């Protein structure tokens, strides 16, 4: 096959207001022939805006012949190490790498998951659907009218709704009132309400289905030991990020050494090297690359291909954001052939599926990858018109 390339000359951003402080931000990178690639850059954890950084990096790509998403780094003279410690830059690069991969797959007239496999000499057909788990957390964040109920009963109701919709795994993040430092030996008092929420959600999920628990890095060494034991008793299926496994790697390694549950985390990591290290150094059992931070769908595929053959069930993509990043994550997950489910933030807004063209399709806890080349979908300009805005940098 002749070498394919994509030479971007246009860049358009758009945002869709979701609820409360949440907006889904994405962009399209296009060439003069009308080929566009998309990337999502929603980053709720960043104070600075990602869009100007995307625009600055994209300027270096204008007029160049890009034949791989790695060219985003090449033409900006960036090394993976430059991105490991800079989440803002990593988010911008990941979005651009996603958009370039989307455009190149369109040029190759292949769906993205097939294009990624072809580029890596990976034989066989990827699946066209991906098993999801239902993260109920964002359905209980403040909406446009203010905070919403976060009682254990509501955690139970949301978990029940997910089970009725056909999911076999749910996740909650019940400890958001907890703040370190924790001076008490053992379990801090602030964790009691969170544990009640876990028990209510687990009651709804039932003994035969799974509940993951995300601790949003709100604990420390001693409270982390104690919490693991409590979560085991409460029937949790994994124990995610009592501390940040990248920033506090040694503390996480010690908690992991005594953890009665599998430990998951590292949602902010960039590049295959950091995820390999976390596994080799026994920091985690499960790594959670996020397509928006880890380098995009091609890098996520490489992480899956590097880790899954030696540690089956060690990669579960993190995806609490909009439908464009879920689509890109589904392509990557299908391409490497996942064992664990992919994250999906459920019940944040009822109209979520309408943001995409074609509509996002999720049935019985499974994501259906749309037909079509590249990602096979894009953020619908009509949805942007209705619920957000479009702009150029």
What is the contact surface with Mg ion in residues (CB under 5 A)?
A: 214
Nearer to Mg ion, 101 or 198 (CB): 198
- Output the smallest distance, CB 370 to Mg ion, in A: 27
- Output the smallest distance, CB 32 to Mg ion, in A: 41
Nearer to Mg ion, 12 or 216 (CB): 216
- Output the smallest distance, CB 381 to Mg ion, in A: 31
Nearest residue to Mg ion, by Cβ distance, number only:
214
Pairing label, strands 10-19, 210-214: unpaired
Q: What number of other Cβ atoms are within 10 A of residue 5's Cβ?
A: 15
- Output the smallest distance, CB 240 to Mg ion, in A: 5
Nearer to Mg ion, 214 or 285 (CB): 214
Nearer to Mg ion, 53 or 211 (CB): 211
- 85: which residues sit within 8 A by CB, 6+ positions away? none
For the record, the structure tokens of 5 come out as 């390339």
Nearer to Mg ion, 35 or 135 (CB): 135
Query: DSSP characters for 56-74?
Result: HHHHTTTT--B-STTHHHH
- Output the smallest distance, CB 213 to Mg ion, in A: 10
For the record, the structure tokens of 33 come out as 């022939």
Nearer to Mg ion, 83 or 288 (CB): 288
- Output the smallest distance, CB 64 to Mg ion, in A: 36
Residue 255 contacts residue 263 (beta carbons within 8 Å) = yes
- 301: which residues sit within 8 A by CB, 6+ positions away? 116, 120, 332, 335, 336
Q: How far apart are CA 162 and CA 113, in angstroms?
A: 27
Coil, strand or helix: which one is 351?
coil
- Output the smallest distance, CB 45 to Mg ion, in A: 10
Helix (H) or strand (E) holding 287, with range, is strand 286-287
Angle, alpha carbons 146-151-157 (nearest 5°) = 100
- Output the smallest distance, CB 357 to Mg ion, in A: 29
Nearer to Mg ion, 326 or 356 (CB): 326
Nearer to Mg ion, 61 or 136 (CB): 136
b (16+ CB within 10 A) / e for 104-129: bbbbbebbbbbbbbebeeeeeebebe
Q: How far apart are CA 342 and CA 369, in angstroms?
A: 13
Q: Which residues pair with 238 in a beta bridge?
A: 212
């Amino acid at each position: 096959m002749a070498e394919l390339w994509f030479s971007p000359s246009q860049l358009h951003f758009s945002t869709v207001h979701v609820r409360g402080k949440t907006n889904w931000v994405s962009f399209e990178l296009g060439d003069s022939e009308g080929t566009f690639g998309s990337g999502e850059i929603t980053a709720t954890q960043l104070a600075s805006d990602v869009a100007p950084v995307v625009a600055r990096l994209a300027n270096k790509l204008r007029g160049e012949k890009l034949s791989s998403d790695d060219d985003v780094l090449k033409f900006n003279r960036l090394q993976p190490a430059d991105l490991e410690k800079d989440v803002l830059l990593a988010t911008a690069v990941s979005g651009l790498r996603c958009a370039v991969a989307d455009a190149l797959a369109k040029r190759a007239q292949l769906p993205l998951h097939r294009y990624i496999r072809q580029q890596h000499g990976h034989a066989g057909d990827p699946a066209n659907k991906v098993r999801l788990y239902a993260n109920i957390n964002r359905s209980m964040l403040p909406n446009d009218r203010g905070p919403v109920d976060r009682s254990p009963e509501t955690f139970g109701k949301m978990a029940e709704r997910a089970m009725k919709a056909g999911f076999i795994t749910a996740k909650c993040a019940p400890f958001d009132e907890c703040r370190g430092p924790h001076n008490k030996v053992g379990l801090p008092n602030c964790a009691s309400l969170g544990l009640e929420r876990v028990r209510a959600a687990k009651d709804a999920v039932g003994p035969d289905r799974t509940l993951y628990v995300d601790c949003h890095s709100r604990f420390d060494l001693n409270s982390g030991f104690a919490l693991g034991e409590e979560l085991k008793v409460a029937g949790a299926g994994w124990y995610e990020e009592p501390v940040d496994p990248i920033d506090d790697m040694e503390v996480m390694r010690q908690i992991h050494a005594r953890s009665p549950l599998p430990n998951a985390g590292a949602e902010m990591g960039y590049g295959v090297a950091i995820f390999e290290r976390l596994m080799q150094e026994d920091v985690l059992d499960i790594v959670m690359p996020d397509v928006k931070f880890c380098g995009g769908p091609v890098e996520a595929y490489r992480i899956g291909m590097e880790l899954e053959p030696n540690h089956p069930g060690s990669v579960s993509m993190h995806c609490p954001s909009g439908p464009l990043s879920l689509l890109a994550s589904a392509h990557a997950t299908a391409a490497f052939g996942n064992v664990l489910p992919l994250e999906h933030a459920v019940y944040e807004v009822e109209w979520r599926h309408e943001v995409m063209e074609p509509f996002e399709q999720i049935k019985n806890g499974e994501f259906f990858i749309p037909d079509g080349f590249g990602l096979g979908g894009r953020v619908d300009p009509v949805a942007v018109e209705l619920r957000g805005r479009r702009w150029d940098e």
